[in-house]
Every structure is written in C-alpha cells, then in structure tokens.
Amino acid sequence: MAKFQYVAVDAAGNEQRGTLEAANRGAAIAAVRANGLMPKALGEIKEEEGDAAAQAKPGARPGAKKPAGGKGLKKEIKLELPKFLKGGVKAKDRTTFTRQLATLVNAGLPLMRCIEVLKKQNQIPSMAECLDGVSENIQGGGTFSEALTQFPKIFDNLYVNMVKAGEAGGVLEVVLQRLAEFEEKAQKIKNKVKGAMIYPAVVLVAAIGITAFLLVAVIPKFKQVFQDILGGEKLPAITEFVMGFSAFVQHNGIQIALGVGALVVLYKVVDKTPQGNFMLDAIRLKIPVTGTLVKRTAISQVTRTLGTLLSSGVPILQALTIVRDTSSNRIIAKALQSVHDSVKEGESMTDPLAASGVFPPMVVSMVQVGEETGALPEMLTRIANNYDDEVDNAVAGLTAAIEPALIIFLAVIVGTIVIAMFLPMIKIISNVSGAGSAM
C-alpha cells in the first residue's frame, strides 16, 4: 500500500488536506471522492531510501538515537499539480473548446475519444498540454471534473463544479451546452464593453498627445516671437496662462510623468489589499456615469452564473460560494456571503439581498417569486437576460454620449491654445498697421 497526500474541496467549498493509504493513484482518488470531497491535488508520499540504508550499516544498534544535526527520515511530497501553469488560455479559446466538446459529446462520442479529436485539431500549445494532462488523469482512474481541477488557470471552480454536476446527473452533454452558452454570452458582454471604450480611449490619447506637443514644441516658439516683437508689452491674460502652463510642463515634465506613474502604482497597490479593493469597488458602483453600467454588468454576471449552476444540479450553498468567489466586485461578494449565511440557516434569499442595497427591488422581487414557485434557476436566467439588454442599451448610450463629449473636450483645449496665440498676433498686426499709417 502506498501513502498519498491530497488537497480537496468539500461541498461548502472549503479546502481540506489529509493523507491516506491506497493501492494506487486511482484507488486514492476514489477514496477521497467516497468521503464527499473533490480532489484538487494528489501526490504520493515517497521516503528517501538513503536513510534506511544508513540504518542498516554494520555496527548500527537497533533503536540507537541519531546524532544531533544528523539527517532524519525525510518525506518528499509531490503534489501532481498541472504541468501547465506557465500561462493561461484565452477565454475565447476555452469557449471554443467547450462548444466543440459539447457538440462531440452530444453526437454520442465517448469522452476520451472527444478529447483525442480536440487534441488533434488544437493549434494552441498550452491547450494541447492541458488536454494531455486531462487525458492522463482520466486514464488513471479520475473523472473528467477531477482532471479539470489540475488546471485551475484554465478551468475555474464554476466550470469544474458544473461539469461535476453534469457527471453526477448523467447529463454532461447538457451541462457542456449550457457552459458554452454561458461563456459565449459573458464574452459577448465583455467584448461590447471593451469595444465601447476603444474610441474614447483613442480620442483621449490623441488629445493628450496633441496638447503635449503644442505645449512643449509650439508655444515656446511663439513666446520668443512675442518677446522680440512686443518687447515688454503685457500679453492677454489667457496667453499668459497658456505660456505659464507650457513653461511648467517643460521644466517639470519628468516630475509630472513620475507623479502619474506613482498614482497608477498606488492605485494598483491599494486595489490589491482587501480593504482598498473593497473601498474602490464601492466607489466604482457609485461613479455617476459608469457606476450604473458596472452594477448592471455585475448583477447580470451573478444571476446568470447562479442560475446556470442551479439548473445544472449544483447544490445552492455550493453554488452561492462559487458565485461569491467568482464575483468581480467585493460589495456584491459580501452581499452573496450574507445570502449564503441566510440560506444555510434555512431562511430566504430575499431579505439579505434587499438589505445589501446593491440589488434593485425588481431583482429581489423576482428572486422571491422564484423561491416561492420553485423556479429559481429560470427566474435568475430571466433577470440575467433582462440586465444583458440593459447593459447593451447602457453601452450604446454611453458611447453615443462620450464621443461628442470627447470631441468637444479636444476642441476646447486646442481652441484655447489657438486663441491664446492668436490674440497677441492681432496686437502685432495693429502695431504694424499703425506704424505704416504714421509713415
């Protein structure tokens, strides 16, 4: 019998570690599963043979103590975590894999053959390595969901638990189909939001670049011209302001760049801490224009994820834990934790949802109806579809509002600089005309 050390997750999503004895790796995986746990990592405990050999040397007395500082019996624990941890796979590629796998399984092909087919046509090295590992784990006696846990950078808890529920209910092809649809819709929303931000970002970068060029390269030349022609005459206030700002940028350019860099780094550092991330997430939800979009996107993600998990047969407490952990906003994650605690005590989801202040009354009411009628998964999917439409409308409206606003912003900046430089030119022309008349 060999000894194995395992890392596993229970039904509530809590991580557990332990050791067991089994004839082989497949038997060890089966023993962990028999305890109601889902293995994440499993490795054989190997003892170094050198120390045993040293104890068998001539003259060694049985039971003799080893000298202080000597080598005792060592155990090397190898957790056979994925060979692939060097890089991730794009969400688009994983969605394509899920859709293809769902199609093949739905066509009646055995799972191992489906994986072999996808391995042959796969063009992504990291995904090919992942599929090799999945195939090896299944051949070693593990299930598909257990094999996926070995690649956490590709298949998250949501994916693994849905596959596990599909295996348990004998409806893997249905779950894979739902997973593919879920990921396609999530990718669609993400692409729409990103696409809406491309044009404003380009215009903003162009505005900053043009302004910097004018301040650093153009305005100093005008300043020299004005000094040569007008001498000590006082310039218009707007011209003085623009020239002063230009001089400030010229003399403090490095400090400005360092200051901007420091603010970015500070933002990243604060966002990495639990308290800072919680505070920033609260701010993101309350920003006047984008806050509504962020909230609608988060609610759509939460409701669709929870509805997909429940409709796939995942227990509600485990589903709430997964949704909480995959939520992109800590405020919403905190609300989901309250819902989890309430359901664990046998109470309704409605009260903690309403108390959080994050979920609108319509969402709370629809969840309440879903609980009362026993159609919670369907109701959550309806909420997600409704909020997907609202996100589409919000993105379209935001894009339509941002484009002219940025154009006006750019026009105001460039126009101010042009007017500031043009006003002294009028004075110069007037002086030249007056001098010509006097002659």
Domain identity same for 277 and 388: yes
For residue 274, being part of any structural domain is answered with yes
What mean pLDDT is predicted for residues 300-324?
A: 86
Query: Which spans in 140-217 are helix H?
Result: 144-148, 157-169, 172-213
Given a cut of 70, whether residue 272 has pLDDT beyond it is yes
Domain identity same for 111 and 29: no
Summarised one tens digit per residue, pLDDT across range 383-393 is: 988 988 888 88
Domain identity same for 43 and 101: no
Domain identity same for 260 and 363: yes
Summarised one tens digit per residue, pLDDT across range 340-369 is: 998 888 888 888 888 888 888 989 999 999
Domain identity same for 200 and 150: no
For residue 53, being part of any structural domain is answered with no
Summarised one tens digit per residue, pLDDT across range 277-286 is: 889 888 888 8
- From 106, 137, 155, give the residue that closes a domain: 155
Domain identity same for 378 and 235: yes
Domain identity same for 228 and 141: no
Summarised one tens digit per residue, pLDDT across range 69-117 is: 443 333 333 334 444 344 467 888 888 888 888 888 888 888 888 888 8
For residue 318, being part of any structural domain is answered with yes
* Integer angstrom CA distances of residue 166 from 112, 169, 276: 16, 5, 38
With a threshold of 0.85, does the pTM exceed it?
A: no
For residue 265, being part of any structural domain is answered with yes
Residue 211, helix vs strand vs coil: helix
Sheet holding 15-22, edge to edge: 15-22, 2-9, 38-47, 75-77
Domain identity same for 263 and 392: yes
For residue 377, being part of any structural domain is answered with yes
Domain count, the chain: 3
Instruction: Evaluate whether 154 touches 89 at the Cβ level (below 8 Å).
Output: yes
Instruction: Evaluate whether 321 touches 12 at the Cβ level (below 8 Å).
Output: yes
Residues of the domain holding 145: 91-155
Domain identity same for 237 and 310: yes
For residue 58, being part of any structural domain is answered with no
Given a cut of 90, whether residue 262 has pLDDT beyond it is yes
Domain identity same for 99 and 202: no
For residue 173, being part of any structural domain is answered with no
For residue 107, being part of any structural domain is answered with yes
Angle at the Cα of 208 from the Cα atoms of 202 and 209, rounded to 5 degrees: 85
First and final C-alpha spacing in the chain: 115
- From 109, 140, 155, give the residue that closes a domain: 155
- From 137, 155, 173, give the residue that closes a domain: 155
What mean pLDDT is predicted for residues 39-56?
A: 56
Give me the pLDDT at residue 56, please: 43
The enclosing domain of 363 has a CATH number of 1.20.81.30
Domain identity same for 280 and 325: yes
Give me the pLDDT at residue 265, please: 93
340 forms beta bridges with none
Domain identity same for 370 and 276: yes
